[in-house]
Structure 1
Amino acid sequence: MESLRSFPDGIRNCYRINVTSGTKYLIKASFLYGDYDGEDILPEFDVHIGANLRDTVSVTKASESEEMEIIHVPPQNHIHVCLVRTGSSTPFISSLVFRPLNNQSYKTDEGSLVGLALSYRVDTGFTTSDPGYRYPQDVYDRYWPSDDPNSDWTSLTTSHTIESNNSYKPPSDVMSTAAAPKNPLDSLDFDLLTFDDDNDTSEYYVYMHFAELELLKAHQRRIFNISYNEEYWAGPYAPRYLETETFYGTSGLMGGHHRFSIYAVDNSTHPPILNAYEVYIVKRFLQSEANQNDIDAVTILKSTYGIKRNWQGDPCTREYLWEGLNCSYDGNYDAPRIISFQVLTEDAIRNLSSSGLTAEIPPSISELTMIQNL
């Protein structure tokens, strides 16, 4: 990335991206500072998805890109991605990418009420020459870095293509390697790279990807269970030869310590394997964006009348309510409604009311069905 866009003016600057409501999207943003402004001051600012805080961008090295990924199902036919100034530094962005996903992937027990922010993903079948994979190997342009070598693990590989017919579609290059314990009698044990703090209130989802890489003989079998914090989690499971399958928990994982163990069952002749896994943090979308028809109507009014106000993002976000608008909130997940707006000063209104001007009212104003004062 050799270019970026900065936003020195205003508190909140937003992109409005047209999407298909109800479709699951992978949203990726990158931020490479590169000391573009010559200030040599590492920026810090917030990123919002719709009316909700996604995360804080804290640049730690000018020459390294900060990356954000979140999986989200928009309830409306657009998404606002906003950069919010929180201090003296200027927000900026290097790239913003939307990738539609299969709606059957990355499921949670709360559906579209939550987003999943990437914590990290790992290609566990580590090789020293493996730089990691993304597009075109990955159709969704997810980045799969190699795992750090584990002294208790070894790597299995195959030159055959791995079929990824499941909804997650991890790339064949990732799935063609797998980790296995060096001692066939051992289990594959690993801890999630989280805060490891009993006071951690984050909620995590883990998605594990498996594919058998060895053509086992009739009397051979690889069957294993998965435990979480020494409690049964999934299995018994026998991975299919050259076919990808994905395991995930039906509910999020809470707490500060998360340890997984993949262990062979008694009648298994081969040790357990793990090809790749992904870890996501739950982000709850507690504030709904304004009613779709209301947003469309005021957007048309702004364009029709050439309103020169810095109306950015969702109009009813409480902290950043559009100037001149008032909204109603029911306290649930229903979209806020615009109930009044005033785009002119009191003097201007008096002048216009006595001027005898006549003009058609845009039909879009009829969409503001909850309006009480205009």
Structure 2
Amino acid sequence: MNGRANGTIEEIIHKTTSNTLQVCLVKTGTSTPMINTLELRPLNKNTYNTQSGSLKYFFRYYFSTSGRNIRYPNDVNDRKWYPFFDSKEWTEVTTDLNVNTSNGYQLPQIVMSSASTPISTFAPWNFTWLLPSSTTQFYIYLHFAEIQTLRSLDTREFNVTLNGKLAYARYSPRTLAMETIFYSTPQQCEGGKCILELKKTPKSTLPPLVNALELFTVIDFPQLETNQDDVVAIKGIQNTYGLSRISWQGDPCVPKQFLWDGLNCQSADISTPPTITFLNLSGNNLNGSVPQTLLQKKGLKLSSKKTSVVIPVAASVAFVVVLGSALAFFFVFKKKNTSNSEGSSSYTQVSDDRTTRSSEPAIVTKNRRFTYSEVVTMTNNFERVLGKGGFGMVYHGTVNGNEQVAVKMLSHSSSQGYKEFKAEVELLLRVHHKNLVGLVGYCDEGENLALIYEYMANGDLREHMSGKRGGSILNWETRLKIVVESAQGLEYLHNGCKPPMVHRDVKTTNILLNEHFQAKLADFGLSRSFPIEGETHVSTVVAGTPGYLDPEYYRTNWLNEKSDVYSFGIVLLEIITNQPVINQSRERAHIAEWVGVMLTKGDIKNIMDPKLYGDYDNGSVWRAVELAMSCLNPSSSRRPTMSQVVIELNECLANENSRGGTSQNMNSQSSIDVSMNFDIETTPGAR
């Protein structure tokens, strides 16, 4: 610690899998583990992300001659910034003006108000460091802001390389606005020696400039924390029966050598939280008859003694939760006879308690049915609004104290009614895919209808395209990944469901993004089955969103899966152009017509989203545009299937990933109104 010759301060950045964190000091030698202070600091979840593992602090420098260490309150996250400057090779640039640091990393003003550049205009800027070994993996974060007043003819543009390999091409820092360039994958240096170089391009009149630099090595923990549902259940059992065992402290399964007595745990791999598979409660003076619920549990083995019960658990989370509730009922009311009608079946039939929909059949479901009072509790009396749609308001909620959910309440004035509510519940009960939003449960109580979904932390695609959510602009690679995942969800509805399903409302606001920017299709209230085995369509009342609606379906009322393909083509044009679907001020109001006119003029340059600044593979863009236009063919029979769309989009993504040059390996994160100076001649011309 500070002031102690043998003191040590360790800093790591760790993303938890739940809202609890267990810290354990494990004895590895002859000494006794000890700690003086443990401090936790929350960080923006969209920063310092890793493919796997956690980040261990290696160094954090800002380039200044001040000699002053910086931390809280200058740094709102209490990071420690140390000054570093090579006076023989560098010259310092400073400013008294305010720098916009609102790009998520929130660096202190004092850090971003200074920077280093090479003394010679023609020299590169170099920085070297040594790692513990050549196998050490690391993540690097470079923070930039142009803080020098440039003359009208001045240009600052440079390439970023690591050990001679191009990482970012033709980069120009923004004037008085912070941007962060970082690797999205862990890096290694041969022999453990790393050389970072910033080298001006031929068109640049000024040398490179950099304000600050952070580097972290990767820590791979051998096990994740125990599955949170298992932890809640086992601690509930511990508290209910006052079980006191010395080993029952901290995480039940981790570290392995300090597993709680009486437990067995297993994990499929290091990326999967361990689950509790065996629980031995013998020797605890628990007595009475074993509940029928436990005796009838599939895969459960029981052996009992007069004063003890030994219970092997075979089904992890689901069973541990059942075990906790069943044991609580058994040991608190051991003399009371019970009858559990719900325990005799894995399904629960929901009764219809509203005369206004007495003609509708009841919903049969495995998912949890919540009462309205439970919905009020989980949303904290509808405190936080996430959004609003045709169905009604969507609220943030929490189930079981830690699982975040989105709660969609049916508005009494909504055009959608019980029929759409029932359709969405029943569809989500029978479809399960990583690119479809999952249903946690529902409420069907009187006039109160609610759908409880998994929580999608990053909102919908339209918000990110329009800039409403702030943060960095979605680059071309990210956009392609999102539409690939969306296409996979749609392809599953068409080919993986029996009978197949048509979504009928594919649009950018119904493509949701989780904390890892994984895309999932949502809003299935308009979904319908479509015929198979020779029949090509079903006649139905037209439904959908103007602009996305298949004109053939609108004209004929004949619905098939190609109606979704048309809507998906509109989504593709949106991610390419970042233009509204309908815009009366354009030469052609509808996006498909406008793009068609631009293509006949050979003008693809003005089709592409200008916020991408030419940072994309030309071939990838052309393939995406051509695919979108084929999806919009007036004749549904001539449109591709979603399986063909998925294949083609994966090819586009492969082209983008394999290209050299700008942003091949590194990402940038800037403030909301990002603006970079890339050579406009890199945008695709007509072919």
TM-score bracket, normalised by the shorter chain, equals 0.7 to 0.9
* Structure 2 partner of 1:209: 143
Contact 1:166 1:245 in 2 (8 A): yes
The question of 1:87 aligning with 2:29 is answered: yes
Task: Determine the C-alpha separation between the residues in 2 that align with 1:193 and 1:126.
Answer: 23
Q: 2:131 corresponds to which letter in structure 1?
A: T
- Call closer, same or farther: CA 1:74–1:270 in 2, change over 3 Å: same
How high is the sequence identity, in percent, across the aligned residues?
Answer: 33
Aligned amino acid, residue 117 of structure 1: K
Q: Hey, what does 2:272 align to over in structure 1?
A: 334
- Find the residue that maps to 1:271 and give its secondary structure: coil
Judged with a 3 Å threshold, the aligned counterparts in structure 2 of structure 1 residues 82 and 33 are, in CA distance, closer, same or farther, namely: farther
Q: Hey, what's the Cα distance between the residues in 2 that align with 1:133 and 1:248?
A: 22
Question: Which has more helix, going by share of residues?
Answer: 2
- Long gaps (5+) in structure 2: 289-303, 309-316, 328-687
1:12 aligns with none
Of 84, 88, 101, which residue of structure 2 is paired with 1:164? 101
Counterpart position of 1:307: 243
C-alpha deviation, 1:366, in angstroms: 8.0
Contact 1:223 1:238 in 2 (8 A): yes
Code of the residue aligned with 1:202 in structure 2: it is T
- The aligned residue for residue 273 of structure 1 is 209
CA contact 1:337–1:370 (8 Å) conserved in 2: no
CA distance in 1, matches of 2:103, 2:41: 17
User: Do 1:101 and 1:140's aligned partners in 2 also have CA atoms closer than 8 Å?
Assistant: yes
User: Conserved in 1, the CA contact under 8 Å of 2:141 and 2:215?
Assistant: yes
Match status 1:70 vs 2:12? yes
Distance 2:72 2:37 in 1: 15
Show the counterpart of 2:165.
Answer: 231
**Residue deviations 1:246-304 (CA, integer Å, cap 9, x gap):** 11123221131211111111121211111100001112244232221211122122223
Q: How many residues align?
A: 298
Change (3 A) 1:370 1:283: farther
Cα distance in structure 1, aligned partners of 2:28 and 2:22: 18
In structure 2, which of residues 31, 42, 45 is the aligned counterpart of residue 103 of structure 1?
Answer: 45
Q: Check the 8 A contact 2:223/2:274 in 1, yes or no.
A: no
Larger Rg: 2
Deviations 1:321-368 (A, max 9, x none): 11121223334633322222234438x579996579xxxxxxxx9861
Aligned position for 1:242:
176
SS in 1 for 2:229: helix
Task: Letter of the 2:13 partner, please give it.
Answer: I
Shift of 1:369: 4.8
Q: Which moved more, 1:304-313 or 1:170-179?
A: 304-313
Distance 2:266 2:146 in 1: 55
One-letter identity of the residue aligned with 2:260: W
Secondary structure of the structure 1 residue equivalent to 2:110: helix
Segment of structure 1 superposing worse, 136-145 or 154-163:
154-163
TM (norm. structure 2) is 0.41
CA shift, 1:151, in A, is 1.6
Q: RMSD of the alignment, in Å?
A: 2.8
- Structure with the largest fraction of strand: 1
- Aligned pairs for 1:316-355 (under 5 A) are 316-317=253-254, 318-331=256-269, 333-345=271-283, 354=306
- The 2-side partners of 1:118 and 1:370 are apart by 42
Task: Find the counterpart in structure 2 of residue 42 from structure 1.
Answer: none
Query: Are the equivalent residues in 1 in contact too, given 2:286–2:307 (CA < 8 A)?
Result: no
Q: Aligned pair 1:118/2:54, yes or no?
A: no
**By how many angstroms is 1:179 displaced?**
0.9
- Asked whether the equivalents of residues 138 and 218 of structure 2 are also in contact (C-alpha less than 8 Å), the reply is yes
| 8 Å Cα contact 1:338-1:370 kept in structure 2 | no
Q: Secondary structure at the match of 2:98?
A: coil
Displacement of 1:140 after TM fit?
Answer: 0.6
User: SS at the partner of 2:69?
Assistant: coil
User: 1:107-156: CA deviations, max 9, x gaps?
Assistant: 33x2xx321111111112232xx321111111110000111544211211
Instruction: Tell me: CA distance 1:103–1:355, structure 2 relative to 1, closer, same or farther (3 Å).
Output: closer
1:294 aligns with 230
Partner of 1:368: 320
Say if 1:224 and 1:236, in contact at 8 Å, map to a contact too: yes
What is the SS of the residue equivalent to 1:155? strand
Change (3 A) 1:131 1:32: closer
